[in-house]
Amino acid sequence: MSLVFTPHFQVDGLFPDVVLLSADNVTFHAHRQHLLAASTNFFGGALASQALHPIVLPETSVVLNIVLHLIYGMSVLRFQPPFEAADAALAALIGAYGVPAARLARSAPLFQLATSYAPYRPIDAYALAAHHGLEDIAVAVSAHLLAYDVSRVTDELSIKMGSVYFSRLYNLQQARLAALKNIVLRPPAAHPPTPACNGDVQRELSRAWAFAAAQIVWTALPSTSIGALQSAFAQAGADIVCPDCQIMLQSRVAEVTREWAAVKVA
């Protein structure tokens, strides 16, 4: 028997009135009206009649557990279901049981579940969200794909996510790279000449900055960190002894930091 969906599982003071049986013989007690309200096809036709006997479903208990948690708007994270189970649950909800994707798109538990896979299965989680048109989830997961090599996307995944979402991921990465180049290639401004620092000395800072910027651009990733940029330009100015040049350098590094932090990540 399910740990959650037992005969004592109440919703609005009502006890369950339907029993679902998973493919691996685990029983789930649910509320007929609650399932019907979520479904557009009588829960895959399973609730078309008023039969009281257990309704046998093809999903495993792990998958059916996710299905019911999402229908009831309950978090399933404590069960730590594998990604494949979540994938199967969404396919069942939308494809078999007639739960509209638009309804699921508003589900906080689904958002939490799908984004929980982002740190270690980002491209799979992105493809899953894209396949079902779950916009907010796809956007959230895409922030974990800034360093992902899109050339590694398999034919299967590219078909699953579709051309629109594949292009969006590719364009996100390219836009960040273009923005990074525009940001770092602008050197620090020059300060007014002083007896200790003339134009020749200031050109040394510009050359050092240009060298560091060229290295960054050559090796840049859409996921390049702020710390990496700060470190690169700090090293570029390490030999600059003029305090005014150092002020201009630090000011420009601060600008780079702010501008890069403001670039869209998802």
Question: Could you report the per-residue pLDDT of 15-35, keeping only the tens digit for each?
Answer: 999 999 999 999 999 999 999
Q: Name residues of the chain where pLDDT drops below 70.
A: none
- 252: part of which helix (H) or strand (E)? helix 243-261
Provide the token pair at 63: 């998958």
- Give the HSE-up count for residue 162: Cα atoms under 13 Å, Cβ half-sphere: 10
Q: Find where tokens 């299905």 sit.
A: 67
Q: Quick one: pLDDT at residue 202?
A: 79
Q: Quick one: pLDDT at residue 50?
A: 77
Using an 8 Å Cβ cutoff, are 94 and 50 in contact?
Answer: no
> Beta strands 55-56 and 18-21: pairing type?
parallel
Q: Which domains does the chain have, with CATH numbers?
A: 1-99 (3.30.710.10), 186-261 (no CATH)
Q: Quick one: pLDDT at residue 4?
A: 96
Q: What is the rounded CA–CA span in Å between residue 141 and residue 173?
A: 13
Q: What is the rounded CA–CA span in Å between residue 216 and residue 176?
A: 13
Residue 9 CB neighbour total at 10 angstroms: 17
Q: Quick one: pLDDT at residue 28?
A: 97
Q: Quick one: pLDDT at residue 192?
A: 87
Q: Quick one: pLDDT at residue 197?
A: 84
